[in-house]
Amino acid sequence: MEQESQEAVQMFINHHALHHAGSSSAWNVPFFRVDALEWFRYDAVMLGVIVLALLGLAVAVRRSRGEVPKGIAAVAEMFVVFVRDSIVYENMGREVGRRYVSFFCTLFIFILCGNLLGLVPLFSTATGCVSVTAGLATVFVFVALGAVAREHGLAGFKGAFVPQGLPVWMTPLMAGMEAVGFFSRAVTLAVRLFCNMLAGHIVIYALLGMVVILGWVALPFLAMSVVMWFFEIFVAFLQAYIFTLLCAISLNMMVNPEH
């Protein structure tokens, strides 16, 4: 490939594959390069896009709701019932779980929407930015602490952070360890989602980069990157499920410590 066209292809791939994943202040508008404010990243725009998409979805679902849900309401009901039955009720039980179904549905659908919108050309993966996933994990931390206070009052924190049947002198030690474990669980949640979304885009970027380096010989890598793109769709669903599932398990350990 000639030098100039090679550079053009490289710029295109840089722009559309890697900036897809990472946080960049240059926005992916076709044929233009928009340099936004330093702090107003493309991920912030994507968060707005996700919120708008979810609001539109909510209105559409509300409209098509009826005795027997049809159209988009049936799809939404499928997701909600899946989250309720196989994530929340199965891990937290019907009694306690009822109150947190809405939170977990919001979490699941928000993450799923972010992951899937990141695979659309010209959009960026909001969940591939560590600040966004850290924000989600922070929300979960506050919800978990609030849930303990709501279910058992202030005494519930002793049950959540100290195992039962422990000698008194070991209590502060175990409470410290459990607190560290709780916060490290939140950090792991954030990093897992961020890494998975970033890693998929980096793989696609590397496969497309082969085309830049080797030229037409590397055309099979283009097909391979399309295969990776479809694998990314599967990963988007899987990561949304895992984030929600681990949140539910962890919340259950805090709220029902005897289990």
Identity of the residue, 182 or 241, whose beta carbon is nearer to other proteins in the bound complex: 241
Q: Does 138 bind other proteins (CB under 8 A)?
A: no
Count the site residues for other proteins by CB under 8 A.
Answer: 15
Segment 221-250, which members bind other proteins (CB under 8 A)?
238, 241-242, 245-246, 249
Q: Which of 92, 86, 131, 90 is nearest to 108 (CA)?
A: 86
CA dihedral for 36, 40, 43, 45, sign (positive or negative): negative
Which residues make Cβ contacts (< 8 Å) with residue 101, sequence separation at least 6?
80, 83, 84, 88
What type of residue is 128? Answer: G
Please report how close the Cβ of residue 51 comes to other proteins at its closest, in angstroms: 27
- What character string, x for contact with other proteins (CB under 8 A) and - otherwise, covers 70-109? ----------------x-----------------------
Please report how close the Cβ of residue 192 comes to other proteins at its closest, in angstroms: 4
Q: Are 164 and 258 in contact (CB under 8 A)?
A: yes
The alpha carbon of 83 is separated from its chain's Cα centroid by a whole number of angstroms, namely: 15
- What character string, x for contact with other proteins (CB under 8 A) and - otherwise, covers 149-188? ---------------------------------------x
Helix/strand/coil for 162: coil
Segment 201-220, which members bind other proteins (CB under 8 A)?
202
Identity of the residue, 41 or 185, whose beta carbon is nearer to other proteins in the bound complex: 185
Q: Does 49 bind other proteins (CB under 8 A)?
A: no
Rounded Cα distance between 105 and 87, Å, is: 10
Q: Determine which residue in the list 23, 133, 196, 225 makes contact with other proteins, applying CB under 8 A.
A: 196
What type of residue is 61? Answer: V
Alpha-helical runs (H) found in the chain: 3-13, 19-21, 42-63, 72-82, 90-92, 94-97, 101-117, 130-152, 156-161, 171-214, 219-255
Tell me which residues touch other proteins (CB under 8 A): 86, 188, 191-192, 195-196, 198-199, 202, 238, 241-242, 245-246, 249
